[in-house]
Amino acid sequence: MASVTYRNVTKRWGDVTAVRNLSIEIPDGEFLVFVGPSGCGKSTSLRMLAGLEEITEGEILIGDRVVNNVAPKDRDIAMVFQSYALYPHMTVYDNMAFGLRLRRTPKQVIDERVREVAASLGIEQLLDRRPRQLSGGQRQRVAVGRAIVREPAVFLLDEPLSNLDAKLRVEARAFISKLHQRLGTTFIYVTHDQTEAMTMGQRIAVLRAGELMQIDSPSNLYDHPSNVFVAGFIGSPAMNFFDNVDLFEEGGKMWVDTGYFRLEVPEARYDLYRPHMGKQLTFGIRPEAISHPNYQPADIRPSLIEANVDVVELMGNEKIVYLEESGKTFLARFDPRADITVGQRTGAVFNMASMHLFDQETEQALQ
Amino acid sequence: MKRPDVPHIMRQGRLIPWFYLLPALAILTIYVVYPTVRTFYVSLRNEDSSGWAGDTCNDDETCFGVLENYHKVFTEDTAGAKNVTSLYNTARWLVIVVPGTVILGLLFAMITDRVRYTAAAKAIIFMPMAISFVGAALIWGFVYDSDEKVGLLNAFLVRLGFDARNWLGLAPPSGTFLLTVIAVWVWTGFTMTLLAAAIKSIPGEVIEASRVDGANEFQLFFRIILPQIMPTVAVVMTTMTINTLKMFDIVWVMGGRDTDVIATRMVSELTESRDFGMAAAIAVVLILLTIPVMVYNVRRFTIEEARR
């Protein structure tokens, strides 16, 4: 068990900066997720912690110890790789026992630990098989088993679910979350999938092009994204953005004019937004904050507009509606009972309590 | 053998496939099967094929009849025809060259991967492969020359205060050892290239996983890398075994009678003694020695194929 600290960590390959001045403190026992699009430096950040990449600048600490120059084997970590990286020439048992054997753990202890972990993961019947004879889901469990059997202080997982099919992935998500609860060890998890990040992470670090965009709890990231990137990256379907909106006061009320329609800003935001009037602003609103007038939730700050129905995707539990107004398309999540037809005009209610405004120049949220 | 699932439209009956095979079979018959059978026949005959091999036997000596030539191959060891010595020398070649090239090849494959100019380093180590064995023998002739003004090895020894020696005049096994060094020098580039390719094919994450698991460089090599490249090591070893059994050029150019191997013995019988029966018998022995290695190689290949 150990905390992990990134202190001004930078990774460069020649002229390319993969990670820029990353500072994060991960308390003991936390499940932290690094998320971001490919090439954002999330895997590199994890690999530096594992000791598989050198740190160009800054320090990484595991517990109180700076590990910059400590070999991977001496860092008291275990890692689950995207490809699982099982040893193909060894049985499942030997795969799991390998790390313990290298540490000269007594045979009997190894046997107990391997069997206990295998039982807890439901893979005890596979112990004599080779990786080649296992399904993707089984391999993934063996890879996790190989990591936990060593009882490391920190667990590193590098996109461990991306090679699984959709159904298995949902199962594996729950399985890893439970595992974290059971072990209580620090977990650091890398994924490009914001759903995985949201469902598993206690805190999520969103990276873009080597820079930390925001680190916070899933609900805070979702409700209070601190910039346009995080707002657009977290949540699916993604948040709708309207650039160059006009923020003004009229008749004692504050309004946002997107150029297509005009929406009323809740009073609670007046003081926050007033200093930013006249700036170039981006207005953001999530699809679920736009509902059909007949099925609007009770506790919202409604602001009604009209738009054309472009596309309707019935998901069963909801309708994803592509609304269009003067060439601008935006998404809404309507109640499945909403009676709408493609090509018609429909009313749409914006819940302005969950509106977002961003400074268009800095891309930072006004908050 | 189980008939593979071939779509009906592609089935060809029993006869048609043989027609496709006919050209290849004809060529193989003319150039492989016939010479092999003919060689075996000649090996049972006397020096100019005018009679059977046992015809000239003296009554007071053991005679193997038509197999007399084989009898000589395994027992005769006169100053002019060191058959037994050549068998021992070939064994020495195998013991030194096969493990030597494989171990050095592995070592270089691992090391060159870690240096800065991997490609250049590999090219240099591979370079001797581009030189013919005769050329290599001449180059090493200068290394081993008995005159310290010419011989590199003697020059070093004299500089260090030792006496120059006539290296190539040394009695076996030392002379043979000096020759095998040349073969190792030439072939290590070949084994390195094949083994390096096999090592490269191991996924990087597997290597990383073993590092995180706690393996040091030795454990990484012996417990992760080596077991995974064993199929390639086996192929390289069998290939090198066959190459070494056939070794001729270096010994022919540099060696004397004492360093003869099977192949040089065979050519001596042919070109110097003009004993076709003996030459053929030695050739058959050489073929018989390579056959088990070939069979092993083909078997391995079939197993590998079946695994896919």
Residue A156: closest C-alpha in chain B? B212
Domain stops at, among A201, A229, A257: A229
Q: Which element (helix H / strand E) includes A313?
A: strand A302-314
Mean per-residue pLDDT, B118-147: 87
- B231: nearest CA partner in chain A: A89
Supply the range of the domain harboring residue A222.
Answer: 4-229
Which pairing describes strands A356-359 and A281-285: parallel, antiparallel, or unpaired? antiparallel
Other CB atoms within 10 Å distance of the CB of residue B219: 18
Structural domains counted in chain B = 1
Q: What's the pLDDT at B158?
A: 87
3-class secondary-structure state, position B13: coil
> What is the Cα–Cα distance from B139 to B128, expressed in whole angstroms?
11
CB within 8 Å of A13: residues ≥ 6 apart: none
Amino acid at A219: S
- Does pLDDT of B128 surpass 90? no
Q: What integer pLDDT is reported at residue A333 of this predicted model?
A: 95
Alpha helical stretches, state H, B76-224: 83-112, 118-126, 133-144, 152-159, 174-200, 204-213, 217-219
Instruction: Enter the tokens of residue B52.
Output: 């059977």
CB burial of residue B173 (10 Å; 0-12, 13-18, 19+): middle
Average pLDDT over residues B24-28: 95
For A83-192, strand residue ranges (E) read: 154-158, 186-191
Residue of A190, A175, A154 lying closest to A26 (CA atoms):
A154
- The reply to whether A97 touches chain B by the CB within 8 Å rule is no
Residue B3 in any domain: the answer is no
CB contact under 8 A, A72 and B216: no
Look at residue B2 in the predicted model and tell me its pLDDT. 52
B213/A98 touch (CB, cutoff 8 Å), yes or no: yes
Q: What CATH code is carried by the domain that includes residue B267?
A: 1.10.3720.10
Residue A235 lies in a domain: no
**Tens-digit pLDDT profile for residues B210-264:** 999 999 989 999 999 999 999 899 989 999 999 999 899 988 888 777 888 999 9
User: In the predicted model, is pLDDT for residue B307 greater than 70?
Assistant: no
Q: Smallest CA–CA separation between B206 and chain A, in Å? A: 4
B223 in A contact zone (CB under 8 Å): yes
Going by C-alpha positions, the residue among A36, A7, A1, A22 that lies closest to residue A190 is: A36
**Cβ proximity of A74 and A103 under 8 Å:** no
- Residues 6 or more apart whose CB falls under 8 angstroms from that of A111 comprise A97
The total of other beta-carbon atoms located within 10 Å of residue B132's CB is 10
The answer to whether position B81 is within a domain reads yes
Give the separation between CA B95 and CA B247, rounded to whole angstroms.
13
A89: which chain B residues are within 8 Å (Cβ-Cβ)?
227-228
Q: What is the identity of the amino acid at A328?
A: K
Spatial contact of B89 and B170, defined as CB atoms under 8 Å apart: no
Strands A154-158 and A77-80, by their bridges, are parallel
Mean pLDDT of B150-159: 86
- Whether residues A100 and A222 fall in one domain: yes
- Give me the amino acid identity at A311: V
Q: Which domain holds residue B85?
A: 76-274
- Coil, helix or strand at residue A212: strand
Please tell me the predicted confidence (pLDDT) of residue A308. 94
CB contact under 8 A, B210 and A98: yes
- Residue A187 dihedral angles phi and psi, to the nearest 5°: -115, 130
For the domain that residue A274 is a member of, what is the CATH number? 2.40.50.140
Q: Do A88 and B228 touch (CB under 8 A)?
A: yes
- What are the pLDDT digits (tens) for A142-165? 999 999 898 899 999 999 998 888
Beta partners for A348? A305
pTM for this prediction: 0.81
Q: What are phi and psi of A259, to 5 degrees?
A: 95, -20
> β-pairing, A203-208 with A211-216?
antiparallel
Higher per-residue pLDDT: B102 or B130: B102
3-state helix, strand, coil in chain A (%, to 5): 30, 35, 35
pLDDT digits (tens, 9 = 90+) for B169-198: 776 678 888 889 999 999 999 999 999 999
Distance CA B123, CA B8 (A): 51
A177: which residues sit within 8 A by CB, 6+ positions away? A31, A199, A200
Cα separation, A169 vs A161, whole angstroms: 6
Q: Using the 8-state DSSP alphabet, how is residue B286 labeled?
A: H
Q: Please tell me the predicted confidence (pLDDT) of residue B285.
A: 94
Looking at the structure, do residues A163 and A122 belong to the same domain, yes or no?
A: yes
Residues of B in contact with A78 (CB under 8 A): 212-213
CA–CA separation, A8 and A16 (whole Å): 17
Predicted pLDDT at B3:
59
Question: Phi and psi (nearest 5°) for A205?
Answer: -105, 115
- Which residues lie below 8 Å from residue A93, measured CB to CB, with a gap of 6+? A114, A118, A127, A128
Separation in Å, CA of A143 to nearest CA in chain B: 10
Mean pLDDT calculated for residue range A43-56: 94
Convert the pLDDT of each residue in A268-277 to its tens digit. Answer: 999 999 999 9
Whether B308 contacts chain A with CB within 8 A: no
**Over pLDDT 90: what percentage of chain A?**
83
The predicted model gives A230-249 an average pLDDT of 93
Query: Do the chains contact at A85 and B228, CB–CB below 8 Å?
Result: no
**What are the two backbone dihedrals, phi and then psi, of residue A356, each rounded to the nearest 5 degrees?**
-130, 145
pLDDT at residue B15, rounded to an integer = 84
Q: Which residues of A touch B212 (CB under 8 A)?
A: 50-52, 72-73, 77-79
What is the rounded CA–CA span in Å between residue B88 and residue A206?
71
Q: Which amino acid is at A21?
A: N
Tokens of residue A28, six digits: 């003991």
Residue A260's pLDDT band (boundaries 50, 70, 90)?
A: confident
Q: Which of B205, B211, B223 sits opposite A83 (nearest CB)?
A: B205
Domain assignment present for B223: yes
CA distance A86 to chain B (A): 6
Contact A103, B214 (CB under 8 A): yes
Q: Show which of residues 161-220 on chain B sit within 8 Å of chain A, judged by CB atoms.
A: 203, 205-206, 208-216, 219
Residue A98 has pLDDT above 90, yes or no: yes
Mean pLDDT of B5-14: 74
Q: Which of A138, A147, A145 is nearest to A168 (CA)?
A: A138
Final residue before a domain boundary, out of A160, A194, A229 = A229
pLDDT at B308: 59
Residues of B in Cβ contact (< 8 Å) with A76: none
pLDDT at B257: 76
Q: What is the pLDDT of residues A294-314, one digit of tens each?
A: 998 888 888 889 999 999 999
Question: Is B215 within 8 Å of A102 when comparing Cβ atoms?
Answer: yes
CA-to-CA distance for B230 and A263, rounded, in angstroms? 71
Q: Is residue A365 part of a domain?
A: no
Q: Do A164 and A46 belong to one domain?
A: yes
Say which residue the tokens 């390998």 belong to: A98
pLDDT tens digits, A321-362: 999 988 899 999 999 999 899 999 999 999 999 999 999 999
Give A255's strand partners: A248, A264
> Rounded to the nearest 10 degrees, how much is the dihedral formed by the CA atoms of B6, B12, B13, B17?
-110
Q: pLDDT band for position B4 (50/70/90)?
A: low
The answer to the question of residue B241 being in a domain is yes
Averaged pLDDT for residues B287-305: 86
- Out of A229, A262, A292, pick the residue that ends a domain: A229
CA B211 vs. chain centroid, Å, equals 37
Confidence check: pLDDT of B9 > 80 = no
Report if residue B171 sits inside a domain.
Answer: yes
Q: State the distance between the two ends of chain A, measured CA to CA, in whole angstroms.
A: 36
Q: Is-cis flag, bond preceding A237, omega within 30?
A: yes
Mean pLDDT across A40-63? 94
> Cα angle at A244 between A238 and A247, to 5 degrees?
105
The Cα A348–Cα A198 span in angstroms is 28
* Average pLDDT over chain B, rounded to an integer: 87
Choose the closest CB to A87 out of B211, B212, B224.
B224
- B185, B179 in Cβ contact below 8 A? no
Of all residues in chain B, the one with the smallest CA distance to A87 is B206
**Interface probe, candidates A89, A155, A157, chain B, greatest B C-beta count within 10 A:** A89
Structure token pair of residue A218: 């899933």
**Domains of chain A: total:** 2
Same domain, residue pair A148 and A247: no
- Tell me if A77 and B212 make a contact (CB, 8 A cut-off): yes
ipTM: 0.84
Tens digit of pLDDT for each residue in A155-201? 999 999 988 888 888 888 998 999 999 999 999 999 999 999 999 99
Asked whether the beta carbons of residue B211 and residue A51 sit closer than 8 angstroms, the reply is: yes
Report which secondary-structure segment, H or E, holds A121.
Answer: helix A107-121
From the list A292, A298, A352, A285, the residue with the least C-alpha distance to A321 is: A292
Residue A264 lies in a domain: yes
B chain contacts of residue A52, beta-carbon cutoff 8 Å: 208, 211-212
Task: Supply the CATH number for residue A159's domain.
Answer: 3.40.50.300
Say whether A79 and B203 touch across the interface (CB within 8 A): no
